């Protein structure tokens, strides 16, 4: 060892005997923050919020009401109510959309689910203390029927005949045994709604209200529209229902309370005095149940009560019926030569006729080609469409003169997946549930086999259900008018999906299904980002002629549509399809 060297030093943490445990360091103490420093976390956001209100309040005082500058300031600085309804600018929707969508998802699915189970508990525990409801304002007797003349468009089966007996809709199918003396949950096998609500649910009977059932059928294609009219979602054990309808005369919504008695055909051969069908259910005289769902019969009765009697809803205007179920403005396009002229529906004050109305010229006109583009635009925006005015030449092809129909779809379909040629097609439904078009693109037409891509795209089924397709060129030659009621779409049009009433977990399953569709299938974001507000204003040509874009039905692109083709078969003796 070098004598000049000092004592040996060890590396930090080591000595001559080995590893030394590190000495415990006292915890570092951070100096306490001054109370004023903590207040800045609260003062700064409040100051920004105050500045926001100050700027907006100053602009509201300086800018004239209803001026473009004022509307612009409201749009960008005070659009919170519009944000909740989905009408705010796109920037606000993107930034605050997740929070708004969460609120709406909770509003749409949770409260209805909880309410249904509370309703079930009430009837299970207190049903024995209740009684069946009978509407004294619209009693189940001949005074509510009025002088019914029957469906004049259907001479073979549309006439009322025989005596009438009133039967509760929930008793069309029920448990075996005597009828209960008090409302009993689960006694009825009938359903208010069953499966998907669709146009095929509507079946016309002996009442001449094809205009109303056509309105129901075309509105049924809009999810949530029909069940949104009912305050109940299940068959009521006491037979009491509340249905909201819009009164165009006073421009207000009314709540129509009815019982579930519906007129049926009487028969002395049955022990109960009721004429029955092959499935054992009573034979309803007017709107008939589709399977075991009864909503069409109840909605028809609500209209009858609104108008005074069943006879009072015979022979009407389909557009009026659509407006009464949507609260929107209605108009129609009548064909004159090669032009479609717009006529606006105007309600008239008449204490004796709730449906008094007329049409007035609107100064809008379109040729056949332009009118198809306009109809397709309305269809994609969610408008409710109907048609009628069949010409005598159409009667030879299976169409019914003096009858109202639903216009369900307006489509342009490529002839094949690689072609630039396309057909212009419309889908129509007869509210009778039978009786169809026999010309080109009818159920028996070989065109469906010749053009498989069209068949797959339009999901053609070939069932005799009163629904059929026509090519636009044939439609223009044989029909007289098209009715239109614009219908708003957005988050407030979404409802809890229809559930199975006999399943105890049905509401919970519907809640999970609705949430899955809301988030996983992006139905919620789509209704929020691409909302549509109903309007009766004229649509400019550059709007419905757009080649691509987004709307309530999703994204679309028409850049590849080049040549329109048609199948020539029946007009003017043309053959060869």
Nearest alpha-carbon partner for 324 in 406, 225, 403: 225
In a domain, 523, yes or no: no
65 and 178 belong to one structural domain: no
Specify the number of domains making up the chain: 2
In a domain, 262, yes or no: yes
Whether 15 is a known active-site residue: answer no
Whether 430 is a known active-site residue: answer yes
* Set 104, 234, 357, 430: catalytic member: 430
In a domain, 444, yes or no: no
In a domain, 98, yes or no: no
In a domain, 515, yes or no: no
Q: In the structure encoding, which two tokens stand for residue 102, read together?
A: 């969460």
68 and 217 belong to one structural domain: no
In a domain, 13, yes or no: no
Domain with 174, as residue range(s), is 132-316
74 and 140 belong to one structural domain: no
Q: Predicted confidence band at 574 (pLDDT cuts at 50, 70, 90)?
A: very low
* Set 79, 113, 210, 234: catalytic member: 210
Nearest alpha-carbon partner for 261 in 137, 123, 126: 137
157 and 306 belong to one structural domain: yes
More confident residue, 7 or 492: 492
Residues 82-93 pLDDT 10s: 889 888 878 888
**pLDDT for 488 beyond 60:** yes
Containing H/E element for 55?
Answer: helix 35-62
Residue 461 confidence (pLDDT): 86
More confident residue, 526 or 16: 526
Q: CA 166, CA 281: separation in Å to the nearest integer?
A: 13
169 and 301 belong to one structural domain: yes
Residue 576 confidence (pLDDT): 34
157 and 289 belong to one structural domain: yes
State the chain's mean pLDDT as an integer: 86
What are the Cα distances from residue 499, in Å, to 113, 210, 548? 10, 29, 37
Whether 141 is a known active-site residue: answer no
* Secondary structure (3-state) at 9: coil
* Secondary structure (3-state) at 321: helix
- Output b/e per residue, 342-377; b: 16+ Cβ within 10 A: bbbbebeeeeeebbebebeeeeeebebeebbbbbbb
In a domain, 56, yes or no: yes
* Set 403, 476, 484, 511: catalytic member: 403
Nearest alpha-carbon partner for 454 in 504, 407, 415: 415
Domain boundary pick from 316, 347, 363: 316
Domain boundary pick from 294, 316, 338: 316
67 and 212 belong to one structural domain: no
73 and 221 belong to one structural domain: no
Strands 252-259 and 240-247: antiparallel
67 and 211 belong to one structural domain: no
**pLDDT for 45 beyond 50:** yes
More confident residue, 362 or 548: 362
Residue 38 confidence (pLDDT): 65
Is pTM beyond 0.85 here? no
304 and 165 belong to one structural domain: yes
Strands 384-388 and 404-414: antiparallel
Q: At what angle do helices 295-307 and 318-326 cross, to 10 degrees?
A: 100
- Percent over 90 (pLDDT), the chain: 54
147 and 294 belong to one structural domain: yes
In a domain, 454, yes or no: no
155 and 70 belong to one structural domain: no
């Amino acid at each position: 060892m070098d004598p000049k060297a000092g004592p040996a030093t060890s590396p930090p943490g080591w000595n001559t005997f080995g590893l030394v445990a590190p000495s415990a360091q006292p915890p570092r103490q951070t100096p306490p923050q001054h109370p004023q420093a903590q207040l800045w976390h609260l003062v700064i956001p409040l100051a920004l919020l105050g500045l926001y209100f100050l700027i907006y309040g100053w602009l509201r005082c300086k800018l004239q009401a209803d001026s473009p500058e004022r509307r612009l300031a409201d749009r960008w600085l005070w659009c919170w109510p519009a944000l909740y309804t989905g009408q705010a600018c796109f920037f606000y929707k993107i930034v605050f959309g997740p929070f708004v969508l969460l609120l709406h998802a909770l509003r749409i699915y949770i409260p209805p689910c909880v309410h249904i189970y509370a309703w079930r508990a009430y009837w299970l525990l207190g049903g024995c203390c209740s009684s069946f409801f009978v509407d004294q304002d619209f009693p189940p007797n001949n005074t509510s029927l009025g002088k019914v003349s029957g469906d004049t468009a259907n001479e073979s089966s549309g006439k009322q005949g025989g005596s009438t007996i009133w039967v509760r809709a929930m008793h069309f199918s029920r448990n075996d045994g005597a009828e209960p003396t008090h409302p009993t949950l689960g006694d009825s096998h009938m359903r208010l709604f069953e499966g998907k609500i669709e146009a095929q649910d509507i079946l016309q009977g002996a009442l001449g209200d094809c205009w109303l059932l056509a309105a129901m059928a075309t509105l049924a294609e809009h999810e949530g529209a029909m069940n949104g009219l009912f305050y109940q979602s299940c068959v009521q054990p006491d037979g009491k229902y509340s249905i909201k309808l819009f009164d165009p005369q006073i421009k207000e919504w009314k709540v129509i309370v009815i019982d579930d008695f519906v007129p049926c055909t009487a028969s002395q051969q049955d022990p109960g005095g009721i004429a029955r069908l092959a499935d054992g259910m009573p034979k309803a005289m007017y709107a008939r149940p589709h399977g075991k769902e009864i909503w069409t019969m109840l909605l028809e009765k609500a209209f009858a009560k609104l108008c005074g009697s069943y006879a009072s809803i015979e022979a009407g205007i389909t557009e009026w019926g659509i407006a009464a179920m949507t609260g929107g403005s209605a108009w129609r396009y009548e064909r004159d030569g090669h032009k479609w002229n717009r006529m606006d529906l105007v309600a008239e004050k008449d204490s004796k006729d709730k449906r008094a109305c007329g049409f007035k010229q609107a100064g809008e006109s379109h040729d056949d080609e332009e009118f198809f583009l306009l109809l397709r635009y309305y269809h994609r925006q969610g408008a409710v469409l109907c048609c009628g005015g069949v010409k005598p030449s159409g009667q030879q092809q299976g169409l019914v003169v003096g009858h109202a129909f639903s216009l369900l779809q307006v489509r342009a379909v490529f002839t094949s997946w690689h072609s630039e040629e396309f057909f212009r097609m419309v889908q129509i439904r007869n509210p009778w549930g039978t009786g169809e078009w026999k010309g080109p693109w009818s159920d028996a037409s070989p065109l469906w086999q010749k053009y498989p891509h069209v068949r797959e795209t339009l999901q053609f089924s070939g069932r005799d259900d009163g629904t059929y397709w026509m090519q636009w060129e044939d439609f223009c030659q044989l029909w007289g008018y098209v009715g239109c009621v614009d219908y708003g779409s957005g988050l407030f049009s979404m409802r809890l999906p229809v559930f199975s009433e006999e399943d105890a977990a049905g509401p919970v399953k519907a809640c999970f299904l609705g949430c899955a569709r809301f988030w996983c299938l992006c139905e919620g974001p789509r209704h929020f980002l691409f909302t549509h507000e109903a309007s009766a204003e004229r649509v400019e040509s550059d709007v419905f002629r757009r080649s691509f874009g987004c709307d309530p039905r999703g994204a679309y692109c028409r850049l590849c549509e080049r040549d329109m083709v048609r199948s020539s078969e029946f007009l003017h003796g043309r053959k060869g399809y």
